[in-house]
Structure 1
């Protein structure tokens, strides 16, 4: 403190830089602390916490993820389109542009034709009473009169012997078969370039029965496209952010922020370091990553169980990114299902016939149309490479009827309208059966 005399009186005061009671003691003035800087607001969508094919929208300090239009699933792990393969659609629809649609809408059929879908593939056919190339145009079949004009020679192309996706041309009374435009192979085994994407290279996808680049015209501005397992994935270029399917903009450098104070708890899972198809759980200050349910692998490379049928066992098919049995709901009534190369194959039960996909009906018993049979010829039915030998007396005119009934059964058949009831054993598939009379001659057929 310092003292000054004013009007004969001593006046005490603290020196500069000091404060307090000058009569007892002054203390230094503490240095003033500047106000803390204002922290810039944090963008919860940078970096984006969303998965593939999802977009982040900020609401205050919280970011929410939603799937893009026409995509489904968990936006935080990854959204997927309605379909990737034709097998994910019904048999009467095909996967076009990642949506299950009627392939006949885009089929290039000509005039006077109709389009039918068989196993996801459109096929053009001329209408009844018309003929020609269904991919170009069909014309009305001319009506011939029965006057003095000689009947036209039979058309070897009606009905066509060429098979599916092929055309028939009459060349001097003989059919000449060729594959239709855009199809490969040779009749009767013409087929399109592809039916499903698994028939194309890994960087191509099957669209309109052609192996094409699925990235063409898919991604937005400043975005790049990469094809993985026939599926196009759009992503913003480096240092860009936004919706890769619409537009990506240059990412602004955020303002520097102060380091968090020791008392503030930092969530190690924001943003998530685990990668797509995974989940993050904080353990004190350490993130613990694990794959989501129904996903396999290890973060950050978690993946679905399958994306194409080839990644499943031969008796399973890839449905909804899971290897499942394709048989449930595939076959009709009185039919059983077997899976061959990931595809369900339906067959009518023993003793039934019809369309196994719609429903099978019981085969009616064969009723003889002739009177009592006379047993005047003896035949021996012997099956090579089996232990079955059947002896029977039969009228030769009924031989063809007997063969048909044998070929329609899988195990045994009882023929009651012959001379007596005989049990006939069918050999294993692919074996030869020989039928010969005692006298001479032989007939060979396969069962």
Structure 2
């Protein structure tokens, strides 16, 4: 349905999806609006662009250039033609430090602020743009990756230095032959010998060890005197120390009898001052061997003396927990005799162990302490033929068995027609009469 009112057309659409609505769309020189048909007709006839109000909820309408302009009320935001909602802030102080208040909303202030590849950090509601590490440029426009060599283009180093980029950092160092602080400047290490230590000389503006320049022969000794090298052959060597020093010997065959060993390419007698008094020395290869003569004893590196009988037990040839005493063998020749210490038993030549006992009270009633060991008392007593051995209180006694008589230590024999009767004292044997 079309309605014409003056210079304004009102278009009412009354059928949508089979339903009838009273809404109307109308256009005027002020704009294009949607209202109920009755309101649309009133609006079309009105000469005030803001009457009726074409704006949404929580808005205000202002006429600008004969046109209605809708805007949200102060403290509100949204679509002023439809609905404005209360804002979450009125100033940046109402927002977190990382946000800024725009149109009554707390938003990220970094959006669209920095250039390409730039980093943005918010400091107290203010976006701060910067180029990241290894990048350079204007962070508000664009950042680009730094060419490492650029770090040394404007060298931070002093004179007589070189600049190298190490791990992304410009590093300064003095040129060869120069010393000093590379950030401020380097100078020659030396101009004269006196600027070097006593063992060095100034060569090509550098302090150099005078003995490392090859002045002396390889086998010579180099000493420094007043910044100069003085060469000499080692003791026992011959020759010109500035050309070559040769050794006194290369093997024992090159040495005389009085100095039979070639040690350190020098002929020496290794027995000199090595062995003790009365000792003899023999050289085997280059090793001195000290020993006491056959009829003497002692420490060949200290003193050798004639044998005596007490030397038989020094050093002690006996086993552990055993003692040594001078003695004689079956031929009458002196020899060491080993015995276990008191309270110990075993093989005195190898090891003596502590015994079981020192008295019979430490053994069972039917045992006795013999040679520091508990042994059956009957093992130490030999009874006679057919006799029995009885142990009591560590004492062994021999007795003839029932029906026998005689000397239990020598022989027991049967009793003829024996009668056996019992009494309180045990068995008593009677003969028939």
Q: TM-score, normalised by structure 2?
A: 0.25
> Highest relative contact order (Cα 8 Å, sep 6+), 1 or 2?
1
Which has the larger strand fraction?
2
Bigger CA radius of gyration:
2
